[in-house]
Structure 1
Amino acid sequence: MGFKRIFMAVLLLVAAQPVLSKPIPVEDFWKRSSFREVKISPDGRYLAATVPFEKLTALVVMDLASKQVTGSFKPQEKAYIGEFYWVSNKRLLFTSSVREGANARPSWTGAWYAMDADGSNIGTAYGRGYFAQILDTLKDDDKFVLVQYASDTGSSTYGRMNVENGDIRPTFKKPPTEGYGQFVTDNAAKVRGFIKAKSYKDSKVYMRASEEADWVVIHDQKATGQDFEAKAFSADNQMLYYTLSQDTGPNAVFTYNFKTGEKKQIARDDNVDPGVLLSSPVDDSVYAVRYEDGFPRYEFIDKANPFARNLIKLQASFPDADVYPVSATLDGNKIIYVVESDTIAGEYYLFDNTTQKAEHLVSRASWIDSAKLSLMEPMKFKARDGLEIEVFVTIPKGSSGKNLPLIVNPHGGPFGPYDSWGYNPEVQMLASRGYAVMQVNFRGSGNYGKEFREKGYRQWGKAMQDDLTDATRWAISQGIADPSRICIYGASYGAYAALMGAAKEPALYRCAVGNVGTYDLPTQLNYSTNGGGGMNPAKAFFGDVAQDDVAQYSPARLAANIRIPVMLFAGEKDTTCPPEQTEMMYAALQKVGTPAEMKIYPGEGHGNVLKENQIDYANRLLAFFEKRLKEGTVTASPLQPVK
């Protein structure tokens, strides 16, 4: 009997699904995943998984040999299990977030909870009122984990936390500097690094050859202008792997030799930044660098590594999917891999290193028929200034791929986040209704190096917006989009870009939708720069210029240029883009007579988390697009209100 069937039958977590009709029901795209995370115990005896319900998330443990559920923790309603770790062969630590008051979005309480694999010995392991972050689970110690926390003076410190009662024994040695920072541990759980940031562009990286050695500054961001990120240690802990931004092009992977002080570049892609580095669960040797270059791929630093060979073998078994290791036993004999693609929400497999066979465990969304989903294709075009821009185009399954109604969907952020290839339920929902969807990694997006990201700074409504315009015109020139049936839609910054697109290019789009957006830059700039000190980059992002200059790139002040139908959404409790921004945009549109609809969801924050609100939102969105983009319904000039 398969693991998926065992989980489903014993826990009755997901009801049996009927054969899907056409089109796929909206509700299916917004169902909670059957399993969020799956991890194997260090000795390989148990599997643990987080299981989302409508109003809570549970933690479930199963014995691999007997295929029986041995224990579970189902918290009170409105509580959600977040991170969880195997801290010994039989005990887990986990966090819980709770929805409080009128807030729909849960927040972490700062406490750690613990449970044995058989469901016993459940309790609060740590709840001292200040946050403790796990640095290392200490694989050779069943009673303690290494944690970072704030001292009484507010400086970062670390110590060993008892997994039974949460007591912390401070082990902090030789602080490199006072204040808050992030500690870095090696493979032996020794604290070898400390990263102290004074501002978002002024940080120093302190490293030491051992816990008894002196601290040495190996990187100064303010002096070099380069961004640093620690990634991994070598198997013997004598080298640090890290990434460093470059003057042009993507970031590169370097090693730092603690004995000689030598820094050496070992990997760099021509197109995109390095992602995670994969290490052996047995000896911690680094064997691969992951890149999201259109389709995800790996650069193998050590192809002879047995875990590199395993990954290469599994990639060959799933040629059109992304294969990624998520958990392994200490001896490396059993590894859990997740398989994902644009049409696969996530399938977990247990790979046996001895037999070299993979067994299917569970699915994240078994009710979705991947055969009915649409393919997402990475493509590139050149913007008006010659900058190469990557886009992801999803073409409705079964269509000709030509002359389609198109939804341009800019991502949020905007600086750092980026769209990538993979399963996206919202994109698939839109494609299932016959719309082509184009996601654009405009300048400012992450994954293409510091230079590309910083090309977007202070370019709200300017070059960043031109990239979206150029992408839309490119889709028309390629024959993908019907020029008379194009809408622009996004959330957060994407909402700003949608409304700014409607104002700046009134003849290009037939409708615009903004969700949890910001529409008046002077107001948002004043709001965003309150607090945060030097860590707040708002002025660098928006523009450290006179407010009247910022104002001219604010959709709420350009409402007279918007003569196409608009739909606006917001969350009542949104503290990132307060709902007043949406109300301001709506009022401005009403004043000039532009058709507009607005829905503010009570209790929700920066995006809906309650299922009923997610489904209501999706249905309103689809109805709006159907009315505006259905073939033959648009007859008025885009410069005039469409009623």
Structure 2
Amino acid sequence: MTLKLDRRSLLRLSGAVSALGCLPLTARADDKAAPASSGPPPIEVYAATPQVDNIALSPDGKRVAVISQTGDDKMLIYFDVAEPTGKSIRLGPAKIRNLFWGSNDHVVIVDSQTTSLPQFTGSKQELSLARVLDLRTVKLRTLFDKEDDFYGIVMGPVYRVKIDGVYQLMAANYRMQGEYNYCLYQFSLDAGRGKLAYESSRDTEGYVVAPDGYLVAYSEFDDMRKEWRLYYNMAPRGKMENFKVIHRMKEALDYPSLEGLGRDCASVVVYFSKGEAKGEYHEISAEGVLGPSLDTSDYISTSPLYHPVTRRLAGFSHHDDWVGYDYTDPLLKKIADALPELMGDDYRTAIVEFAEDPRKMILYGENAEDAGTYYFADLSTGALQVLSQNYEDLPVEWITEKTAITYKAADGLEIPGYLTLPHGKPAKDLPLIVLPHGGPQARDFIGFDWQTEALASRGYAVLQPNFRGSGGYSSSFANAGHGEFGRKMQTDLSDGVRYLVKKGMVDPKRVAIMGASYGGYAALGGATLNPGIYNCAVSIAGVSDPKSFISFVAEKTDSRSSSSVLYWKQFMGDPHTYDEISPVKQAARASCPILLIHGTDDTVVPIDQSRRMESALKHAGKPVEFVTYKGQDHWETVGSSRIEMMKAALAFIEKHNPAT
């Protein structure tokens, strides 16, 4: 079974081009002189897709592949590091989700399509397809499209493995027959058909695959019994798999997560969200023995790091305002420790990808004079080469840094966040835009943010509160949001406004609110649940009615007690009070004009949520505008629509909450 694509648009060669304007530079990007500019750059400079959508380094560290964009068409650009003049292939208006090298001559492109399939619940799904492109022949193939009883899609990650010295791929999919089992397949990079590696139940959550293709373990969650189980392969390499349950937990929502290989390449790493090990990573041996907590740092938000060749646990990254690295592997620790000296102490640097020789890598960096640059670094020679700048048309003087702040909510809880001040204005009586993040259990960081920068360039201060319930802090901070959807999670935002007003930085008569996804709900809540604070509200793909949204999630997951439904319910609280926190039901209380923006291909928050809000506001006689974008998804993948969306939002805000 195959999903149809326009292969001609995917394989239209555009000839040899300069690879992203790559220059054989050894200086940092912000060492270049910036041209002077008299006024703020056009919105396109901020809202257009960054120069680099995805970037990947070949296993041998000699080649780079990049997904960039021209108009709404994606481009694959590939080149040798030693000679950065490459070739490009036009991919058409594809929604690229991932890019990596399958070998030194093959790239793997994972894209997604919004579609409906009869065996899947819900009216629409965003489904992923994995393509293998042979750069020697420019031939493309799609995983699973030649397998019987499968759609040509992938469900879960695609792994690069090396079996008997030959690179291959492993990927999983549901068999559209019988019990819809979850099947792991092994694919040659050149041959058409794959080979079944293992078939497990449809409850399977994911596999741990060793770098030689050996299947170590997998986990499954039984939604009916609300039980998580960890299966370990007791069979030696080369023998038929023999899986045994070595750990199980009864839990409806906060069940464990299988993360990867342990340090000895035999144990597996598991993250626990509940119980005595809550918030901790542990290794579990083949015998089911739970080891001690692995991450002993003081950081609240961490993620495991793995060696690029052995895939063994090699340390942890920590996430505060920016990412940091705590490697236990001696070589990787030495490399990470060398980055501040290589890039500069004032430079926020992140490791994007290692080659198999980890001394060769792609780095990303930014600071007050750099909106984001990618580099190739070779620590064996000390070479540092600029690959591409994300916003090369953005003048340095129009880059505005965020400042980390904290303030107290009405109940005394400390709320962290970020404040961005407008270019060239004193921090006094400023117009303000509150920009809450989505999630809601996500968070904002201090890094470059095109939307914040665009708003600040038009004369606004921008407040990004990491309200209670946000992720990336303590579990108690996240749990403080449970039951506070539209309640204290909402007033955390207006408490931030009051804090800035009290400091004299913000004019209380010139405040607006804008957000996407959960942030879109918060924008609607600011107008209806917490009225009188904002002059206008902009909701982008926002939830507007908890009751109907829960019904949508239940239909999509085929269960009213699925983990996704339970996730939302723990934030929304008592279902009997949903009308109290529903902007649709409280539309008559709207105290300011509202702009609704939504894409037709949104499979996360359906466009029906904005339609319901528009209808309720019109019925209540309240001012509302509604802008839709055909083909746009929840992640604003279509670049032209993103630009038009930002223009519409700014025009609306400038009309109802002018900066001057």
Task: Give the match for residue 60 of structure 1.
Answer: 77
Letter in 2 for 1:114: V
Query: C-alpha distance in 2, partners of 1:224/1:618?
Result: 40
| 1:615-626 matched pairs, under 5 angstroms | 615-626=643-654
Structure 1 residue corresponding to 2:108, chosen from 83, 86, 93: 93
Give secondary structure in 2 for the equivalent of 1:528.
helix
Letter in 2 for 1:7: A
Shift of 1:126: 4.4
Kept in 2: contact 1:250–1:270 (CA 8 A)? no
Shift of 1:610: 3.7
Structure 1 residue corresponding to 2:318, chosen from 291, 307, 317: 291
Query: C-alpha distance in 2, partners of 1:248/1:466?
Result: 33
Matched, 1:444 2:472: no
Letter in 1 for 2:357: D
Residues 356 and 257 of structure 1: is their aligned pair in 2 closer, same or farther, counting only changes over 3 Å?
farther
Shift of 1:435: 1.0
Matched, 1:36 2:53: yes
Task: Give the match for residue 153 of structure 2.
Answer: 131
Residues 41 and 546 of structure 1: is their aligned pair in 2 closer, same or farther, counting only changes over 3 Å?
closer
Letter in 1 for 2:446: W
Task: Give the match for residue 462 of structure 1.
Answer: 487
Query: C-alpha distance in 2, partners of 1:369/1:9?
Result: 17
Shift of 1:196: 0.6
Query: C-alpha distance in 2, partners of 1:35/1:48?
Result: 10
Query: C-alpha distance in 2, partners of 1:597/1:546?
Result: 31
Between 244-253 and 228-237, the greater mean CA deviation after superposition: 244-253
Kept in 1: contact 2:48–2:642 (CA 8 A)? no
Task: Give the match for residue 504 of structure 1.
Answer: 529
Structure 1 residue corresponding to 2:66, chosen from 43, 49, 57: 49
Kept in 2: contact 1:511–1:564 (CA 8 A)? yes
Give secondary structure in 1 for the equivalent of 2:204.
coil
Matched, 1:367 2:393: yes
Structure 2 residue corresponding to 1:556, chosen from 573, 584, 600: 584
Q: Deviations over 1:393-417 (max 9, x none)?
A: 1122333223221111112222x32
Matched, 1:73 2:106: no
Structure 2, unpaired ranges of 5+: 1-16, 24-33, 117-123
Matched, 1:113 2:131: yes
Shift of 1:179: 4.1
Structure 1 residue corresponding to 2:192, chosen from 161, 166, 184: 166
Q: Deviations over 1:539-569 (max 9, x none)?
A: 6624788865211221222233222232222
Kept in 2: contact 1:279–1:288 (CA 8 A)? yes
Letter in 2 for 1:231: E
Residues 462 and 186 of structure 1: is their aligned pair in 2 closer, same or farther, counting only changes over 3 Å?
same
Task: Give the match for residue 640 of structure 1.
Answer: none
Task: Give the match for residue 636 of structure 1.
Answer: none
Task: Give the match for residue 99 of structure 2.
Answer: 84
Kept in 1: contact 2:546–2:578 (CA 8 A)? yes
Query: C-alpha distance in 1, partners of 2:250/2:181?
Result: 22
Give secondary structure in 2 for the equivalent of 1:496.
helix
Give secondary structure in 2 for the equivalent of 1:160.
strand
Kept in 2: contact 1:393–1:437 (CA 8 A)? yes
Query: C-alpha distance in 1, partners of 2:209/2:535?
Result: 53
Shift of 1:27: 0.9
Kept in 1: contact 2:162–2:168 (CA 8 A)? no
Shift of 1:330: 2.0
Query: C-alpha distance in 2, partners of 1:188/1:369?
Result: 47
| 1:551-630 matched pairs, under 5 angstroms | 551-606=579-634, 608-630=636-658
Letter in 2 for 1:194: Y
Residues 160 and 202 of structure 1: is their aligned pair in 2 closer, same or farther, counting only changes over 3 Å?
same
Shift of 1:424: 1.0
Structure 1, unpaired ranges of 5+: 12-16, 633-643
Task: Give the match for residue 279 of structure 1.
Answer: 306
Between 322-331 and 161-170, the greater mean CA deviation after superposition: 322-331
Query: C-alpha distance in 1, partners of 2:60/2:222?
Result: 42
Residues 170 and 439 of structure 1: is their aligned pair in 2 closer, same or farther, counting only changes over 3 Å?
same
Give secondary structure in 2 for the equivalent of 1:137.
strand
Matched, 1:518 2:543: yes
Letter in 2 for 1:380: T
Task: Give the match for residue 6 of structure 2.
Answer: none
Query: C-alpha distance in 1, partners of 2:288/2:206?
Result: 24
Give secondary structure in 2 for the equivalent of 1:625.
helix
Query: C-alpha distance in 2, partners of 1:570/1:113?
Result: 29
Task: Give the match for residue 14 of structure 1.
Answer: none
Structure 1 residue corresponding to 2:409, chosen from 379, 383, 387: 383
Structure 2 residue corresponding to 1:328, chosen from 345, 354, 361: 354
Kept in 1: contact 2:486–2:581 (CA 8 A)? yes
Query: C-alpha distance in 2, partners of 1:225/1:596?
Result: 37
Matched, 1:428 2:428: no
Query: C-alpha distance in 2, partners of 1:487/1:144?
Result: 52
Query: C-alpha distance in 1, partners of 2:361/2:260?
Result: 20
Matched, 1:7 2:30: no
Shift of 1:605: 4.1
Task: Give the match for residue 319 of structure 1.
Answer: 345
Matched, 1:307 2:332: yes
Query: C-alpha distance in 2, partners of 1:383/1:37?
Result: 39
Between 130-139 and 400-409, the greater mean CA deviation after superposition: 130-139
Query: C-alpha distance in 1, partners of 2:621/2:320?
Result: 45
Letter in 1 for 2:168: F
Kept in 2: contact 1:184–1:192 (CA 8 A)? yes
Query: C-alpha distance in 1, partners of 2:476/2:276?
Result: 6
Structure 2 residue corresponding to 1:541, chosen from 568, 579, 584: 568
Between 496-505 and 338-347, the greater mean CA deviation after superposition: 338-347
Structure 2 residue corresponding to 1:195, chosen from 208, 219, 225: 219
Kept in 2: contact 1:197–1:203 (CA 8 A)? yes
Residues 145 and 165 of structure 1: is their aligned pair in 2 closer, same or farther, counting only changes over 3 Å?
same
Query: C-alpha distance in 2, partners of 1:190/1:98?
Result: 31
Q: Deviations over 1:343-399 (max 9, x none)?
A: 644312111132133222222222223442111122223333333322121122333
Q: Deviations over 1:172-229 (max 9, x none)?
A: 28x5x66433111234432112111234964222234665685454543425985423
Query: C-alpha distance in 1, partners of 2:259/2:585?
Result: 45
Q: CA RMSD in A?
A: 3.5
Shift of 1:592: 4.1
Task: Give the match for residue 394 of structure 1.
Answer: 420
Kept in 2: contact 1:112–1:127 (CA 8 A)? no
Task: Give the match for residue 209 of structure 2.
Answer: 185
Residues 284 and 249 of structure 1: is their aligned pair in 2 closer, same or farther, counting only changes over 3 Å?
closer
Aligned residue pairs, count = 612
Task: Give the match for residue 378 of structure 2.
Answer: 352
Between 434-443 and 184-193, the greater mean CA deviation after superposition: 184-193
Q: Deviations over 1:298-347 (max 9, x none)?
A: 33435xx2222222221243323332222233233422212245764431
Kept in 2: contact 1:404–1:482 (CA 8 A)? yes
Query: C-alpha distance in 2, partners of 1:308/1:531?
Result: 43
Task: Give the match for residue 30 of structure 2.
Answer: none
The share of aligned pairs that are identical, in percent, is 25
Give secondary structure in 1 for the equivalent of 2:358.
coil
